Amino acid sequence: MPNINGPLYYERMGRTGPVMAFVHPNPMDQSCWIYQMARFSTWFRCVAIDIPGYGRSPAGTAEMSRFDMAQALWETLDETCPGEPAVLVGCSVGSSLVPHMYKLRPEQTKAMIVCGTGYRGPDEVSPHIQFYKDNGLSYRWDFTFKDFSAGFGATPMASYFARLFTERDAFADLPTILTQLAASRPAEEFFQTIDCPMIILSGSEDGAHPGAFKLQKLVPGCEMKTLHGAGHACQLEQPWLFDQYMIEFLTKHELFPVKRVAADK
């Protein structure tokens, strides 16, 4: 695969049903989808993937682009379910990559579900680049809490997740993370030609939340739901509501593999 030093690491759960792929945010890895993997593996073959430089995936080169990462994600799915269509789910960085996956293989993209995201212009520079340069991989601990709302960040569960991700620092690659953060962002026209069902699930306490409304307007027919009180990684903070919105969206577009789902209690 171009500009990436080997195949990506992934975890699978679920042995039957359609394919659902999960792509994580910075500074987390595939395990941030722990609740969704457990829930949706009832009906889907779930594949959660570490992008280059994170978790247990290999590093990328300084020339690595978003399309290189998107291609590597598809090649991971090719290994587990070659040629099959997939529902693509992303958070933050993952939300920026799944539209690139769509552009590479629109015929295999059944739908996109994104969170922790909003429109950011091509010239916008991530503030996290300098924090990583100043603090190295140790910045991942602090960064994890920036993915949470203030309320959730004060809980023992937030510290548990921060420990889970940073215990894998030995596998992470700082230059690759910096390359990923600095990769050029697409212009508005990139999103205006998306032609598959898409929904944004946005935490009201996420700094990206205001930009989510603009992104929704750019993508034809894009839907949006707000998770009030949740932060950037809203799938970890409010999995019961996140999952409910996913199920409702997939059912609406006839992508949920059963006709009736018991209401959440």
Task: Compute and round to an integer the Cα radius of gyration of the chain.
Answer: 17
Percent of all residues in the chain with a pLDDT value above 90, rounded to a whole number: 94
- Tell whether 262 is covered by a domain: no
Asked if the structure places residue 205 within a domain, the reply is yes
Q: Does 173 reside within a domain?
A: yes
The boundaries of the domain holding residue 31 are: 10-252
Band of the pLDDT at 265, cuts 50, 70, 90?
very low
Q: Is the pLDDT of residue 168 over 90?
A: yes
Q: What is the pLDDT of residues 76-131, one digit of tens each?
A: 999 999 999 999 999 999 999 999 999 999 999 999 999 999 999 888 889 999 99
How many CB atoms lie under 10 A from the CB of residue 175?
A: 14
- Asked if pLDDT for residue 15 goes beyond 70, the answer is yes
Whether residue 201 has pLDDT greater than 90: yes
Instruction: Report the pLDDT value the prediction gives residue 262, as an integer from 0 to 100.
Output: 52
Indicate which CATH number applies to the domain containing 176: 3.40.50.1820
| Total structural domains within the chain | 1
| Confidence at 264, pLDDT banded by 50, 70, 90 | low
Domain assignment of residue 258, yes or no: no
Q: Are 220 and 188 in contact (CB under 8 A)?
A: no
Per-residue tokens: 88: 């693509």
Name the average pLDDT for the chain.
96
- Asked whether residue 136 is assigned to any structural domain, the reply reads yes
Mean pLDDT across 214-241: 98
In a domain, 87, yes or no: yes
Query: Residue 39: CB partners within 8 Å, gap ≥ 6?
Result: 239, 243
Q: List residues bridging with 10 in a β-sheet.
A: 49
How many percent of the chain have pLDDT more than 70?
A: 98
Q: From CA 179, how far away is CA 73, in angstroms rounded?
A: 17
Query: Would you say residue 107 lies in a domain?
Result: yes
Cα–chain-centroid distance for residue 93? 6
Q: What pLDDT score does 210 carry?
A: 96
Within-domain flag for 31: yes
Residue pLDDT, tens place only, 127-159 = 999 999 999 999 999 999 999 999 999 999 999
